[in-house]
Amino acid sequence: MSADGKTGDATKEKGLLYMGIDLGTSRTSVAASNGVRTTLSSHVGYPKDVVARKLLGKEVLYGDDAVDHRLSLRFYRPLAAGVLKASQRTSEDVEGNMKAAADLIREIIRLGKPKADELVYGVIGVPAQAAIHHKDAILKAARESLDSVILCSEPFAVAYGLDMLEDVLVIDIGAGTTDLCRMHGTMPEDSDQLTNTFAGDYVDDQLATLVRKRYPKAQFTTRMIQTIKERHGNVSDAMPSVVVDLPVDGKPTPFDVTEDLRTACRSIVAPIVEGLSQLIATFDPEFQHKLKNRVLLAGGGSQIKGLDTAVEEEMRRRLGQGRVMRIDEPVYGGANGALKIAHDMPAEFWEKLK
């Protein structure tokens, strides 16, 4: 495709595979131009010793496979708050996290099934306000597997994938971050985007705290809490009761966590609407009502039942009005949008970024 856009996909070069990658704290998703679309939990594990290696029969384990065998592994969740832990420089094992991130990207690209001789060009969504050293770390990890890489804002990718480029507010709730982005017909600038950490992991922490407080004898891990949230997450007043079995002194015991779960899930609503308020208040007053009525809810966190309604209610309370739409494919929204950007990017632009 030429830069002037006079030609379309009919002249796309063969031997090129475009990929849109949503590199998330909890899940990494990919959509590729060969029709493959897949997702993987963002966990990587390496056998701790020879015995574990022999038992598992693999040098590296990914996703749920790694989670299932994490006791036998040096276990990594290389992304936190939507960026590589290695780039935060607070992690104890910077090298390990960096290697795990590179391996995770390599694996997700492999799952995209590129042909051996195809060049792979990828667009990776990053949090709206990722710092330069975070982007650097992602680029370093990605360049080992991609022939050309472009980074773009995650919420922008979601909106672009849905062709909603004008007067839209995007809420992309991930595990590590919630990204908010104001689309007004041009490329969003820094002032159009907000990132906060009131996301999936925050809900997990809140739920764990509440359950621990209410049932001090109950034993659980973060992973168990996350599973409860993913299965039963709901913010509705009329949500069905949630009773889960948690061990007490080794014996599975039923606990009612309905109230705690609702409270934890609701804990992100107010911060999200607070962010929306900031973006709306700084927008042209004539068009503020349009923004309020076109709010897109995306990302894995958007799967919490009733969240769209809860955000609408909070918007009405604080901003007078609001209409929230949940996107059809929360898990793939970012990857689909990134793939669309990859396709629309002229070939010569890719060449410049090799």
Partner 1 sequence: MPEFQVVRLSEAAQSLFSAEDVERLMRAEFDRALRHKFSLVVMLVGVDRLGQLQDLYGWDSKDEILRAVVSMLRGSLRDSDLLGLTQDDRLLLVFPHTTPESAGLLARRMLAGARKLRFDRDGRSLRISLSIGVSNNKQPSELSFETLVAVAEDGLSVADGAGGDRFVETELYQLYEKKRKSRSRARETAGLAPEAPARIVAAVPSPEAKKSEGPRLTAEDPIGLALLELLAQQGFEGGNFVDIDPEMVATAIRRAQEARTAALPEVQQVPASPEEILEKQRQIEILERRIAKLTQALGMTEQDLARVMAMKGIDSGLPSVYKNVQGLTGGEPEFERKKAMMLTILEANLALKRELEK
Q: Where do contacts with partner 1 occur on this chain (CB under 8 A)?
A: 1, 4-9, 12, 14-18, 31-37, 113-116, 118, 132, 135-136, 139, 150-152, 160, 163, 165, 185-187, 336, 339-341, 343-346, 349, 352-353
Kindly state the smallest distance separating residue 134's Cβ from partner 1, in Å: 11
- Toward partner 1, which CB reaches closer, 58 or 135? 135
- Which residue, 240 or 346, has its beta carbon nearer to partner 1? 346
To partner 1, the closest distance from the beta carbon of 146 in angstroms equals 13
Q: What are the C-alpha distances in Å from 240 to residues 90, 210, 313?
A: 41, 19, 20
Among 232, 235, 220, 171, residue whose Cα is nearest residue 198: 171
CB of 181 to partner 1, least distance (A): 13
Distance CA(39)–CA(248), nearest Å, equals 34
Strand order in the sheet with 16-23: 37-41, 27-32, 16-23, 119-126, 148-153
For partner 1, the closer of residues 30 and 264 by Cβ is 30
Give whichever of 121 and 255 is closer to partner 1, judged by the CB atom.
121
Strands (E), 243-344: 243-248, 251-256, 295-298, 324-326
Tokens encoding 351: 């060449």
Q: How far is the CB of 170 from partner 1 (least distance, A)?
A: 15
Whole-number minimum distance, CB 33 to partner 1, in Å? Answer: 5
Give the C-alpha separation, 84 to 96, whole Å. Answer: 11
Indicate the angle between helix axes 200-214 and 258-266, nearest 10 degrees: 150
To the nearest whole angstrom, how small is the minimum distance from the Cβ of residue 329 to partner 1? 12
| Buried-exposed string 68-107: b where 16+ CB fall within 10 A, e elsewhere | ebbebbebbbbbbbbbbbbbbeebeebebbbbbbbbbbbb
Length of the chain measured in residues = 354
Q: Which is nearer to partner 1, 101 or 311 (CB)?
A: 101
Which is closer to partner 1, CB of 33 or CB of 195?
Answer: 33
Residue 88 Cβ vs partner 1, minimum distance, rounded to whole Å: 17
Helix (H) or strand (E) segment spanning residue 178: strand 178-184
Q: What 8-state DSSP symbol labels residue 38? A: E
Backbone torsions φ then ψ of 286, nearest 5 degrees: -65, -25
Please state the closest distance from residue 46 (CB atom) to partner 1, in A.
Answer: 23
Measured from the CB atom, the residue of 102 and 207 that comes closer to partner 1 is 102
Measured from the CB atom, the residue of 6 and 251 that comes closer to partner 1 is: 6
